Amino acid sequence: MDKNNERECNEDLIRERRKCNFNIEELTNIVDGGKARTARRREIQRLLINDPEFLDEIPQDYMSHEDRYSNELRKSAHLMQKLADQESGHDIHQDIGALTGILKDGNPLMVHLSMFIPAILGQANSEQQEKWLGRSLRNEIIGTYAQTELGHGTFVRGLETRATYDPTVEEFVLHTPTITATKWWPGGLGKTCNYCVVMAQLYTQGRCYGPHPFIVQLRDEETHRSLPGITLGEIGPRLGLNSNDNGFLKFENHRIPRTNMLMKHSQVLKDGTYVKPLHNKLSYGTMMLVRVGIVGACSRSLQYAVTIATRYSAVRHQSEIVPGQPEPQILDYQTQQYKVIPQIASVFALIFSARSLSKIQSSVTAKLKDGNTDLLPELHSLSSGLKALSSSDASWGVEVCRLACGGHGYLASSNLPRTYTGTTCAITYEGENTVLLLQVARYLIKSYRSIGKETGASSVSYLADQTSLASSSSSFSNKALVQAFKLSALSLVAEAEARLQKLCDMGQEFYHAWNYCSVLLLKCAEAHTRYYICEKYEQTVDSLKASEGVKNVLQSLCRLYLIYHITLTHGDFLKCGALTPRNIAVLEGEMCDLLAVLRPQAVSIVDAFDIPDELLGSTLGCWDGNVYQRLYDEALKSPLNKTDVPDAYYKYLLPLMKSSL
Amino acid sequence: MDKNNERECNEDLIRERRKCNFNIEELTNIVDGGKARTARRREIQRLLINDPEFLDEIPQDYMSHEDRYSNELRKSAHLMQKLADQESGHDIHQDIGALTGILKDGNPLMVHLSMFIPAILGQANSEQQEKWLGRSLRNEIIGTYAQTELGHGTFVRGLETRATYDPTVEEFVLHTPTITATKWWPGGLGKTCNYCVVMAQLYTQGRCYGPHPFIVQLRDEETHRSLPGITLGEIGPRLGLNSNDNGFLKFENHRIPRTNMLMKHSQVLKDGTYVKPLHNKLSYGTMMLVRVGIVGACSRSLQYAVTIATRYSAVRHQSEIVPGQPEPQILDYQTQQYKVIPQIASVFALIFSARSLSKIQSSVTAKLKDGNTDLLPELHSLSSGLKALSSSDASWGVEVCRLACGGHGYLASSNLPRTYTGTTCAITYEGENTVLLLQVARYLIKSYRSIGKETGASSVSYLADQTSLASSSSSFSNKALVQAFKLSALSLVAEAEARLQKLCDMGQEFYHAWNYCSVLLLKCAEAHTRYYICEKYEQTVDSLKASEGVKNVLQSLCRLYLIYHITLTHGDFLKCGALTPRNIAVLEGEMCDLLAVLRPQAVSIVDAFDIPDELLGSTLGCWDGNVYQRLYDEALKSPLNKTDVPDAYYKYLLPLMKSSL
């Protein structure tokens, strides 16, 4: 697709693009995080897009479950080979986002890259790294990460799989004592991997020391057969991501050498003595890194969905605004703008939050190396809150985009269904959102109760600031709106704390009182995290060095985001007096104006996300806007369309139709 | 499954069921709409459940697209045959809900039952019925209903397909002038149907009379080959419902006899004279009936999802409320109760609304026969609003239930993914929700502006009632809460009207002002319809003749529903003064109490929905609660688990793993 060739492009899109009043490439660089990263991403994408090995013979949705797995394994093996062949191949761990869209519905080798190798890097000592890291990076062994069990998810302490140390032969005995202890879910575990990091309860010298990581060979390296004492399989079809053989794993007193326990932090000595880690939470680093990655991935999913919905909304004409006039572009309807444009604003909120979190994560990790764990609770709370809100915002936003495309958004060829099914799972994995938000709430209540004591944790310092906002003004700067978010969060935390205290005063135990307030506590955690996101958004845009055009667009998007989220939860702002009913009405009016201001720029903004058609994979979202022809051409690929009359007719329909004659 | 045999049942569920304090069978009868209907539903279900023809060799999700279609056609043909064999077979149109769950992912013959036959009944004159009705009921011909086009959905006037009358041979010429005019979406159209009702722009004597229905033969009755001048095919895979060959259809100057225009209302005479219908909106009846059906179907989907989530929440243990204690049932967490129990309450809201709408529909239809169309706008508005809210409430509710089941809710074997993908499409089809709600808003503004004039439309009479609610009380009866909904709706309508008027006063044309207020107008329509649902809920429960136990449960559910929806939109109640911040806090507290009161009854209430395991089709929701064993057994059915080492390993993985050696 030659983007400079207007002749092949839908006329509505040509007109939309001519309205652009900012430098698209500059915005692309901001999205990528700098010119160099834009160039690097494009280089990787170019390398992959032009490779015919990544094409499917027929779209995957037509294939059987087995064929889908086989087809995706073919492509993912090719991808790994290709990356390994590149001089800079190993850097790919930093550019994993550039691969989005190359594989369509899961990747059996992804957990090898995203968790197995990081676990070795983060948890194995130097001899262990020597033994396994190089082989993993060269793909000689392929691994996954097995934590979740059939009966146990986010609550890691509840895991049942056991690793019991036997000092007589210096081995651990891995065992699955019940059906609920069956490892369940790891990507690639069913059929692909031959190694695995397993989290199991460590027993030695008659005592349980809690969950620890062990590296376990699962399959013979020559035959790929599963080893004796190990039962492996695939867990069956899912809402989405059906090609990455999520698996189950059971151990029947399976023995591994003592040195297969990953011993960078804790150790078990030959005689069975347990040596605890220098610092209890040193192993948190990997988990935090994964969460930063999730926030970024959620932003990318939303970029895909909103690119599709925005372009389609410019191409699609429907109904009438003025009776008797031609059908307008549906993007001209305020209700459509209200669906699509706040999602564009949300993309940047997630990008800027992810970047802020990543910075904090790096500085905390640096301090951790010196044994300083002071800021871990702060990082834990922020990463939990952002993981939760970004996954639920993105899932909901993708679904809004899908529904904004009407019936065609339900078609697989729009790529919106797969974008949704591949995003919503982030609500559950790597810490279920409700559980994470309640951990944020715990931190908030604790911080609120220790007001006055210096914690150094900046994200909650506002809890000490009880000064109210003067709400008589009828216009608000972005900074003033952020202050309103602050007051709303603060007031919810104060309300929850008071309700908790009251229940305790009435004689309830704290734990029961906590549970009895937990719906309110969830709201606190959401309000707190939303405030953080809004503050970073405002600060990032405010301090951005950019041309006037780009700055204007981002300022409008930021303001839309602030007002949009105020109107969604305006009761909380009214209740605490941060805003008056009159303020809300004014802001609602301004939101309509912002939608009108941003509408002519919408197509150009999503163009700046710079997603190649080959990766976007959408009939509705393609760059040239030839939506209807593409929908029709895709339909013709259905195997059912190869013949006029299907075999099933003779078998089942003909007998029915002739039965009454 | 013998429901009296506790020995085979999960112990948590046994304990839950022993807590039941109401008569389950009595509640079942209320859900079904009376004892006789419960008996009839059970009779139909028994007939189908025990028939081995409805079993799948392997779960559908493992099959290729072609095999799924073939498999579902096999079962649906068998179902049609079976129903036809029953003496009372034709009554099935009234009991279509009883079939839910028999077919798993679409039904190529469903539109034949749900729209083709009703279209003949509602739009064909008596000679035409004689010709086609009997043959349709006997399945000698199989039809579908083709309205939507590739470029045209809810806006029926925009359809492009043409039917041009040629008086010289007394035929209509059907033609598809552009690619966007391609008929697109009808279920069963691709490969199954040989007849079709086609909506096309009627041209005669040089004039266009708008969209009219035509019956068109598509395929040869002997060979099933598509007829000359007709291009047919399947539109490709979708988010869900992948087995009902949604199709496309193009005409190339295809001729049909004049008498194939369905002429119950409008006619074209032999010479081409157009005879308009006695009343313009007589053909609305079928559409209204379909919408009543959608509200009912949405309630059923939600019953399925909430049955699964509630039972699983009683069986699943996770994490801790009191440190050191055993892991509690997740249903003991307030946050889990807050996800699941309001969805139980929502089921009854939808059931009672559907019943109320159905009554109004019958009385309006009766009046229509006498040519009285006075109440059509009222019915149109109510059915639009209820279709919109029931489909979005149910979709959202099903998704909340799915996410409440954590990772396992993402597994196909939970049946939650399919319940969601089969429900969310109702947001779009039969009138896209945003479009419908704006039609409701139009009716509201019109009614508001004609206050004082008698319209006889009872659902909007409240718009004339400007008396404010005394909000000083700290406790509210259910009736008082319903009044608060009324005031909230009224105040939103008044606000929207004022904003509209202000824009017009400033010189904007009404149509542009309307568009500029449409986000607010959507809120009006939602608030109005929510008020209607709440009022019917309160009235139905209040006037119900039932035993004390059942009445108590329904009163708690109704109250929970009212408070839940107030807290979701509390800003609207605060803004208009219907409730104070103090009221809201009290209601939030009461909501927590209601969740605690209903929690011990939750399993028994979903038991009262009386969904047989065979139809529920869920590893997580089965009656006996043996969740983990069922999950494991289902996984073993994966074809990938037939061999330890998959073929794909030798083809793709082995070369990768050995490439660096």
- DSSP assignment of A466-480: -PPPP---S---HHH
Q: Tokens for A25, please give them.
A: 């490439």
Question: Of A345, A269, A333, A274, which Cα lies nearest the Cα of A306?
Answer: A345
pLDDT for position B139: 94
Average pLDDT, integer, range B85-90: 59
On the question of pLDDT at A642 being above 50, the answer is yes
- CB contact (8 A) between residue B322 and residue A519: no
CA distance, residue B225 to nearest chain A CA (Å): 6
Residue labelled with tokens 């697989």: A412
Average pLDDT, integer, range B412-418: 98
Query: Which 91-110 residues of chain B touch chain A by CB within 8 A?
Result: none
Average pLDDT, integer, range B374-386: 91
Say if residues A318 and A372 touch (Cβ distance below 8 Å).
no
pLDDT, one tens digit per residue, over B457-496 is: 778 888 877 665 545 556 789 999 999 999 999 999 999 9
Report the C-alpha gap between B401 and B481 in whole angstroms: 27
More confident residue, B370 or A559: A559
Say if residues B374 and B367 touch (Cβ distance below 8 Å).
yes
* Number of CB pairs, chain A paired with chain B, less than 8 A apart: 401
Report the C-alpha gap between A392 and A402 in whole angstroms: 15
On the question of pLDDT at A452 being above 70, the answer is no
On the question of pLDDT at B445 being above 90, the answer is yes
Q: Which residues pair with A100 in a beta bridge?
A: A103
Report the C-alpha gap between A237 and B62 in whole angstroms: 7
- CB contact (8 A) between residue A151 and residue B223: no
CA separation, residue A319 to residues A20, A252, A322, A324, B516 (Å): 26, 65, 9, 10, 16
On the question of pLDDT at A618 being above 80, the answer is yes
- CB contact (8 A) between residue A581 and residue B575: yes
pLDDT for position B486: 95
pLDDT for position A369: 77
Question: Of B175, B304, B223, which Cα lies nearest the Cα of B617?
Answer: B304
B428 is in an annotated binding site: no
pLDDT for position A439: 96
Residue A414 gets the label, from left (phi > 0), alpha (psi -120 to 50) or beta, of alpha
Q: Which residues pair with A173 in a beta bridge?
A: A164, A255
pLDDT for position A280: 67
pLDDT, one tens digit per residue, over B170-179 is: 999 999 999 9
Q: Tell me whether A250 touches chain B (CB under 8 Å).
A: no
Residue B452: pLDDT band with limits 50, 70, 90? low
Report the C-alpha gap between B54 and B74 in whole angstroms: 9
CB atoms within 10 A of CB A315: 25
Query: Which 35-64 residues of chain B touch chain A by CB within 8 A?
Result: 59, 61-64
Report the C-alpha gap between A642 and A66 in whole angstroms: 22
CA distance, residue A547 to nearest chain B CA (Å): 31
Residue labelled with tokens 């929806």: B565
Picking from A158, A318, A412, the nearest residue to B318 by CB comes out as A158
Could you give the residue numbers annotated as active site of A?
430
Residue labelled with tokens 């688990």: B641
On the question of pLDDT at B89 being above 70, the answer is no
Q: Tokens for A439, please give them.
A: 């951990």
On the question of pLDDT at A279 being above 80, the answer is no
Say if residues B234 and A635 touch (Cβ distance below 8 Å).
yes
Report the C-alpha gap between B183 and A628 in whole angstroms: 12
Q: Tell me whether B498 touches chain A (CB under 8 Å).
A: no
CB atoms within 10 A of CB A160: 18
Q: At A130, which amino acid appears?
A: E
pLDDT for position A635: 97
Chain A residues with CB-CB distance to B412 below 8 A:
236-239
For B45-169, list the strands marked E by DSSP: 143-146, 162-166
Average pLDDT, integer, range A460-487: 78
pLDDT for position B479: 94
Q: At A28, which amino acid appears?
A: T
**ipTM of the assembly?**
0.96
CA distance, residue A21 to nearest chain B CA (Å): 23
On the question of pLDDT at B661 being above 80, the answer is no
Residue labelled with tokens 């575990």: A189
* Residues 6+ positions from A502 with CB-CB distance below 8 Å: none
pLDDT for position B106: 84
Average pLDDT, integer, range B237-266: 96
On the question of pLDDT at B5 being above 70, the answer is no
Average pLDDT, integer, range A276-287: 73
- DSSP assignment of A63-127: S-HHHHHHHHHHHHHHHHHHHHHSTTGGGGGG-GGGGBTTBSS--TTHHIIIIIHHHHHHH--HH
Q: Tell me whether B439 touches chain A (CB under 8 Å).
A: no
- CB contact (8 A) between residue A412 and residue B332: no
Mutate to test the interface with A, among B135, B638, B643 (most CBs of A within 10 A): B638
Report the C-alpha gap between B148 and B150 in whole angstroms: 7
Average pLDDT, integer, range B3-8: 70
Q: Tokens for B185, please give them.
A: 């979406």
Say if residues A487 and A566 touch (Cβ distance below 8 Å).
no
B89 is in an annotated binding site: no
Chain A residues with CB-CB distance to B238 below 8 A:
410-412, 417
pTM exceeding the 0.90 threshold for the entire prediction: yes
Query: Which helix H or strand E contains B552, and what residues bound it?
Result: helix B548-568
On the question of pLDDT at A455 being above 90, the answer is no
On the question of pLDDT at B1 being above 60, the answer is no
Chain A residues with CB-CB distance to B89 below 8 A:
none
User: In terms of CA atoms, which chain B residue is nearest residue A321?
Assistant: B511
Q: Which residues pair with A164 in a beta bridge?
A: A173, A203
Residue A464: pLDDT band with limits 50, 70, 90? confident
Average pLDDT, integer, range A641-655: 96
- CB contact (8 A) between residue B651 and residue A335: no
Average pLDDT, integer, range B344-371: 91
Mean pLDDT, rounded, of chain A: 93
- CB contact (8 A) between residue A70 and residue B652: yes
More confident residue, B588 or B370: B588
pLDDT, one tens digit per residue, over A8-41 is: 899 999 999 999 999 999 999 999 999 999 999 9
pLDDT for position B454: 61
Helix, strand, coil distribution of chain A in percent, nearest 5:
60, 10, 30
Could you give the residue numbers annotated as active site of B?
430
pLDDT for position A89: 46
Report the C-alpha gap between B215 and B218 in whole angstroms: 10
Question: Of A202, A232, A204, which Cα lies nearest the Cα of A217?
Answer: A232
Chain A residues with CB-CB distance to B332 below 8 A:
515
pLDDT, one tens digit per residue, over A130-150 is: 999 999 999 999 999 999 999
Report the C-alpha gap between A32 and A203 in whole angstroms: 47
Average pLDDT, integer, range A408-418: 98
A647: helix, coil or strand? helix
Report the C-alpha gap between B48 and B51 in whole angstroms: 5
* Residues 6+ positions from A390 with CB-CB distance below 8 Å: A294, A295, A298, A299, A350, A353, A354, A426
Query: Which helix H or strand E contains A201, and what residues bound it?
Result: strand A195-204
Chain B residues with CB-CB distance to A646 below 8 A:
66, 69-70, 191
Mutate to test the interface with A, among B76, B191, B329 (most CBs of A within 10 A): B191
- CB contact (8 A) between residue B417 and residue A239: yes
- CB contact (8 A) between residue B226 and residue A644: yes
Report the C-alpha gap between B202 and B213 in whole angstroms: 9
Say if residues A41 and A32 touch (Cβ distance below 8 Å).
yes
pLDDT for position A290: 84
Report the C-alpha gap between A10 and A7 in whole angstroms: 8
Residue A103: pLDDT band with limits 50, 70, 90? confident
Domains and CATH numbers, chain B: 112-277 (2.40.110.10)
On the question of pLDDT at A372 being above 90, the answer is no
B184: helix, coil or strand? strand
- CB contact (8 A) between residue B237 and residue A571: no
